[in-house]
Amino acid sequence: MATLEIRDLHVTVEADNATKEILKGVDLTVKQGETHAIMGPNGSGKSTLAYSLAGHPKYTITSGTVLLDGEDVLEMSVDERARAGLFLAMQYPVEVPGVSVSNFLRTSATAIRGEAPKLRTWVKEVKEAMQRLNMDPAFAERNVNEGFSGGEKKRHEILQLELLRPKVAILDETDSGLDVDALRVVSEGVNRVRETGEVGTLLITHYTRILRYIKPDQVHVFAGGRIAESGGPELADKLENEGYEAYVKGGASA
């Protein structure tokens, strides 16, 4: 069973000619089939955790370990991490001029699966996945994220999640900027992948709204660069009622 183990992760970032520590010792274990919600106020380091795991060059790991099935993730390049089974659905997906969605998806699937998917079954697979996400077939001929609305970008991220079938999916504020309909469609996509039982999900969010559609097994409150509290789904209800105030204060003094 695939397991992602994060141990005492410290991460810094260079800003304004100074080195700032954003993650201050994160411990977390995500197993295949589990869904963990990471909730926290803005600036608590949630997205830093997501991008550090994916290997974004902006972030420097100063100490700690990240293992995926015992393999050292931090030693891997960005593309190696993806091929090892890590997937990051980005909060702000990037426009890639000149590359069509269909070409991008196929190149990506070829890289992740280790061989080019057979054309006929692939076309069907993509078409069906797009239909489930209420995406227009013409979408496949557009350039990656170019001119996409916020909702289209997020659907496109979840489309990739469905097609690439990672071991661990990190969803970075996938709910932000979505209206209720789009949120439902996107959540259904995530749930289809979760229901296979083959993916461990790290759901990063600022709001509790998405948790009505995607039920987490565990909820972690992220504050001051580490996990401040962990609990069951009931912890989300507490946050809904009380907000992050208690943690923000605690985080600042830590």
Binding flag, residue 94, other proteins (CB under 8 A): yes
Tokens standing for 140? 């496949």
Rounded distance between C-alpha atoms, residue 5 and residue 167, angstroms? 13
Size of residue set near other proteins by CB under 8 A: 31
**CB 158, CB 190: distance < 8 Å:** yes
Contacts made by residues 147-153, CB under 8 angstroms, sequence distance 24+: 148/93, 148/95, 150/177, 150/178, 151/177, 151/178, 151/179, 151/182, 151/186, 153/93
Instruction: Tell me how far, at minimum, the Cβ of 28 lies from other proteins, in Å.
Output: 20
SS3 of residue 93 by DSSP: coil
Q: Is 13 in the site for other proteins (CB under 8 A)?
A: no
Using CB under 8 A, which of 41, 93, 151, 177 touches other proteins? 93
Q: Strand 200-205 to strand 168-172: parallel, antiparallel, or no bridges (unpaired)?
A: parallel
Our CB check for other proteins shows the closer of 105 and 182 to be 105
Residue ranges in 222-251 that form contacts with other proteins under rule CB under 8 A: none
| Total residues found in the chain within this entry | 254
Print the binding letters for residues 17-56 with other proteins: x by CB under 8 A, - otherwise. Answer: -------------------------------------xxx
Q: Does 73 bind other proteins (CB under 8 A)?
A: no
C-beta of 70 vs 98, nearer to other proteins: 98
In this chain, which of 17, 77, 241, 253 binds other proteins, going by CB under 8 A?
Answer: 77
SS3 212: helix
Q: Which residues make up the interface to other proteins (CB under 8 A)? A: 54-57, 77-79, 81-83, 87-88, 90, 93-100, 103-104, 107-108, 111-112, 143-144, 160, 164
